Amino acid sequence: MSKWSKLFACAAIACASALVGNAAPAAEIRVIATAGPMPTLMGALTPLFEHASGNKVTIKFQGVPQTLGELKDGAAVDLLIADAEQMESFAKAGAVAASAPTKIMLSRVGVAVKQGAPKPDISSSEALKAALTSAKTVAYSQGASGQHFVTVIARLGLTDTLKAKTIIVQGKPVGAAVAAGEAEIGIQQVAELMPVPGIDLVGPLPGDLQKIIVYEAAPAAKAKEAEAANALIKFISTDAAIAVLKQKGMTPP
């Protein structure tokens, strides 16, 4: 890192420290986030926040049903992070504080191929349709991006065409299946594709075939460290955090 890069990083953290505040005693914030791109994103943001605030973050990544079960059993949770649809499930179950969840980042669905392979034209709906039709295998997940891609396939009239060559990836990133040669084309959130070695990102889904997946954060209904949880939410809107979001394939709301 150059001298000026170090100075910039220090200045960014200093600004973040001023915004989150560090006068109060250090708190331990217990966070539960859904999986998908969140381990990568929060794994990068958490150390910055801890450095800026003096607070400690304990975080785990799991699905909504498991989290609701743990909350019902009295688990101590301060902050919940999930996409908007999943956050609505938390809200209906009374798991989040009365205030509305805060939008913290936006995610797009993208297309990837094995590293070094020719990149198909996906610049329009017709181009994407042609690329999917000519591909030998197409992979997607059962998560938010995969659920959206099922609707894309239907809109393009490819439900029957792709049925025999579709691979639904479970237990690993879609990009890992593409890197291993198990699928020619992979579709998943851009932020989930970017960290996977051995693949090339072709780009986001085109035009109105794209879906913006909104991620939100909200203090848990029975949070013991609600103030510190709100400080973490606020930190994600700082310049230092936004720079990380963009680097990892997300955009600020």
CATH number at residue 201: 3.40.190.10
Q: Identify the pLDDT of residue 29.
A: 98
Same domain, 14 and 99: yes
Q: Identify the pLDDT of residue 229.
A: 97
In a domain, 252, yes or no: no
Q: Per-10-residue mean pLDDT for the chain, 253 residues long? A: 44 49 73 96 97 96 95 95 96 91 97 98 98 98 95 98 96 97 98 97 97 97 96 97 97 95
Q: Identify the pLDDT of residue 20.
A: 52
Q: What distance in Å separates the CA atoms of residue 132 and residue 186, rounded to the nearest whole number?
A: 10
Q: 25 lies in which domain range?
A: 3-106+214-247
Same domain, 46 and 167: no
CA distances from residue 121 to 116, 203, 209 in whole angstroms, order as listed: 15, 9, 15
pTM comes to: 0.87
Q: Identify the pLDDT of residue 6.
A: 44
Same domain, 63 and 30: yes
Q: What are the two backbone dihedrals, phi and then psi, of residue 32, each rounded to the nearest 5 degrees?
A: -120, 125
Q: What distance in Å separates the CA atoms of residue 176 and residue 205, rounded to the nearest whole number?
A: 19
Same domain, 9 and 77: yes
In a domain, 253, yes or no: no
On whether the CB atoms of residues 168 and 140 are closer than 8 A, the answer is: yes
